[in-house]
Structure 1
Amino acid sequence: MALDPKIEAHQRLVEQLRRSFGKAIMAAFDDEKVVEIMANPDGKLLVERHGQGIVQEGTIAPQQVQNIIGLVAAWQGTISNAEKPICEGALPPEFGGARFEGCLPPITPGPLFAIRLRARSIYTLEQYVRATVITANQLEIIQQAIDTRKNILVSGGTTSGKTTLVNAIVHRISEVSDLNQRIVIIEDTPEIQCSAPNYLSLLTDDSAKITMASLLKATLRLRPSRIIVGEIRDGAALDLVDAWGTGHPGGAATMHANNPQGALLRLDRLCMRTGAPSQKESIEEAVDIIIQIRSDENHPAGRRITSMWDVKKGEEI
């Protein structure tokens, strides 16, 4: 019996991608500790493992990188060339739905890409204590915040471990939830894992113009108890603040910022991108705790919590 042409075309493209990635990259996909795979314009192939930093694992030819970008673009139903030099989105399910970002000249001297892998195992809050990323006292505060339905914002820089920490928070949420707590997770790419008995995962879709903001609006009609957002990076911040502040406590989200005060300021600025006035008071009502995490090469785990901020009291916890 002949295969469906669409299935056959998909399988052929996936096999082409596997061949183009080559042994080194495919081995990185199979390594549960790998969180990022990067190809630089100078030909370096770099791999980052959780808590171990970035190492070079060979080289990769520019033509190979360009072929990979072209195949990913084909998977997304588009093309990538000098006129469309940026290729981004999720890889096929066979690659775990990893997030792909590729760039071509002229915006870069040579082709490059970065692949962000979804966590294959959950790093629990208790493991954070054993790894001395958080203290026993901080663990108690975070667990109490989760159990009493506080809204938690995790702030930090790129590759600081924000999503990994939110996964640990969601793991705890899953442990204390029953069917009466309906958890809705909203992301650009699937990175947050949940094992709660009643949860939904929603993804943005650029081709269908389904944005984070539109998903947040839809979420309010899906009877959410807790709302989890992968990353706040645009005007959808206003919808999240509104959702969190109007009867949907106990959520979590991530944001790029250097400190808790900077996170509050950035959240307000993102809200104002919609044309709304400052939402400072609404933000203070909606957000309860900010956990600041940062990369630290001198720490055995490669990262550490630098601050926990009580937004309502305006003080360090």
Structure 2
Amino acid sequence: MTLHSIDKAKVEAHARLIEQMRRILGETICAVFDDPSAVEIMLNDDGRILVERHGHGITELTRMSPAKALNFLALMASWRETVVDRNRPIVEGAMPDEFRRARFAGCIPPLTPMPTFSIRLPTTRIFTLEDYVHAGILAPDQRDYLTEALDTRKNILVSGGTGSGKTSLLNALSHRVAQVSGLDQRVVIIEDTREIVCKAPNTVQMLTDPDANIDMTRLLKLTLRYRPDRIFVGEVRDGAALALLKAWNTGHPGGLATLHANDPEAALIRLDQLCQEAGVPSQSALIREAVDVVVQIRRDPGHPAGRVVSDIVCFDQ
């Protein structure tokens, strides 16, 4: 078999995979991938497909049978060059380009009663701080404070629970940075999955690569050789927190990052715990020096937009 025929076979196999995926999802679900307001597609174990849209909360879209869901997870496993079965019941990773490389996570019984999944869609439209005010998620005085903090290059940590909208809010903050940045301000972005959007004219985006043993700590060290002025991190999860704080605190102000926490004080405690995963003692002093502002965003079922910025705390005074 020639190299050309091998390549052609791969292309044809990929096309069949995509067609099978689209057939299982159906037109209704596939259309969500083209919706700029869509944030997440979720399949619960009762078969309901839910969609979260920015500014509109969560609504039920349609239903999917367990058999179809299981087939879809098997196709995702095939795409990720693995399998899904009782011994390996979890499938996660980026979807194919035809599905915008959305972030996929799914599992099958016995972890859940029926197959389930969650698809986090990458941002296609940037919601500005002004959009957040119009949606009632952000108060006008909060917008003014954050605008000043960004313009004066404060280090800002966006804190919240799972699915609270941390990355979307970080993108709104990033939009403001792009508005006030010229070629003299280099923005370096580090993520596990590409979700941050920054239109600043001097921007470099880096992705971790588990297969090559390139983690966030390694990239943060590499970043310092790239002459960064601002450093953005998609989500701080482990001992990389220490490298980030050191970078923020050594001549690179104006950074942005997200973190899982229930309130601003808990965010600083969580950050300290992550630093200690790097094998160092408490870094509370470094944290107080490096983190200027914590913005807390939380889900709010009673709010029309489904979330609200509940607190903004300044720690640089």
Q: 1:51 to 1:248 in 2, by over 3 A?
A: same
The answer to which of 297-306 and 181-190 deviates more is 297-306
Aligned residue in 1 for 2:24? 20
Question: What code does the residue aligned with 2:22 have?
Answer: R
Q: Give the alignment partner of residue 222 of structure 1, picking from 226, 233, 247.
A: 226
Distance in 1, matches of 2:82 and 2:204, equals 29
Aligned residue in 2 for 1:43? 47
The answer to which of 157-166 and 18-27 deviates more is 18-27
Task: Indicate the SS of the match to 1:221.
Answer: helix
Question: What code does the residue aligned with 2:279 have?
Answer: G
Aligned residue in 1 for 2:80? 76
Shift of 1:103: 0.7
Q: Give the alignment partner of residue 125 of structure 2, picking from 121, 125, 145.
A: 121
Aligned residue in 1 for 2:191? 187
Q: TM-score, normalised by structure 1?
A: 0.94
Shift of 1:250: 0.6
Question: What code does the residue aligned with 1:81 have?
Answer: D
Shift of 1:127: 1.6
Shift of 1:107: 1.9
Distance in 2, matches of 1:202 and 1:180, equals 20
Deviation digits for residues 9-64 of structure 1 (CA, Å, limit 9, x no counterpart):
33332222222222221022222222111112221221112222222222111121
Task: Indicate the SS of the match to 2:92.
Answer: strand
Aligned residue in 2 for 1:207? 211
Q: 1:132 to 1:58 in 2, by over 3 A?
A: closer
Distance in 2, matches of 1:275 and 1:284, equals 19
Distance in 2, matches of 1:48 and 1:127, equals 17
Shift of 1:299: 2.3
Aligned residue in 2 for 1:264? 268
Q: Give the alignment partner of residue 67 of structure 2, picking from 45, 63, 67.
A: 63
Distance in 1, matches of 2:8 and 2:223, equals 35
Aligned residue in 2 for 1:237? 241
Distance in 2, matches of 1:203 and 1:281, equals 29
Aligned residue in 2 for 1:131? 135
Question: What code does the residue aligned with 1:109 have?
Answer: P
Deviation digits for residues 126-161 of structure 1 (CA, Å, limit 9, x no counterpart):
122222322222222111111111110011112221
Is this contact kept in 2: 1:97–1:189, CA < 8 A?
no
Distance in 1, matches of 2:223 and 2:9, equals 35
Question: What code does the residue aligned with 2:135 have?
Answer: A
Distance in 2, matches of 1:227 and 1:4, equals 42
Task: Indicate the SS of the match to 1:207.
Answer: helix
The answer to which of 151-160 and 22-31 deviates more is 22-31
The answer to which of 122-131 and 278-287 deviates more is 122-131
Q: Give the alignment partner of residue 296 of structure 1, picking from 281, 287, 300.
A: 300
Unaligned runs of 5+ in 2: none
Shift of 1:71: 1.4
Q: 1:166 to 1:29 in 2, by over 3 A?
A: same
How many residue pairs align between the two structures?
313
Distance in 2, matches of 1:272 and 1:99, equals 28
Task: Indicate the SS of the match to 1:220.
Answer: helix
Q: Give the alignment partner of residue 103 of structure 2, picking from 84, 99, 102.
A: 99
Deviation digits for residues 158-213 of structure 1 (CA, Å, limit 9, x no counterpart):
22211111001111111111111111111121111111111111112222222222
Is this contact kept in 1: 2:55–2:135, CA < 8 A?
no
Distance in 2, matches of 1:248 and 1:7, equals 44
Is this contact kept in 1: 2:297–2:309, CA < 8 A?
yes
Aligned residue in 2 for 1:275? 279
Question: What code does the residue aligned with 1:92 have?
Answer: P
Report whether the alignment pairs 1:178 with 2:203.
Answer: no
Distance in 1, matches of 2:67 and 2:210, equals 28
The answer to which of 191-200 and 17-26 deviates more is 17-26
Is this contact kept in 2: 1:86–1:102, CA < 8 A?
yes
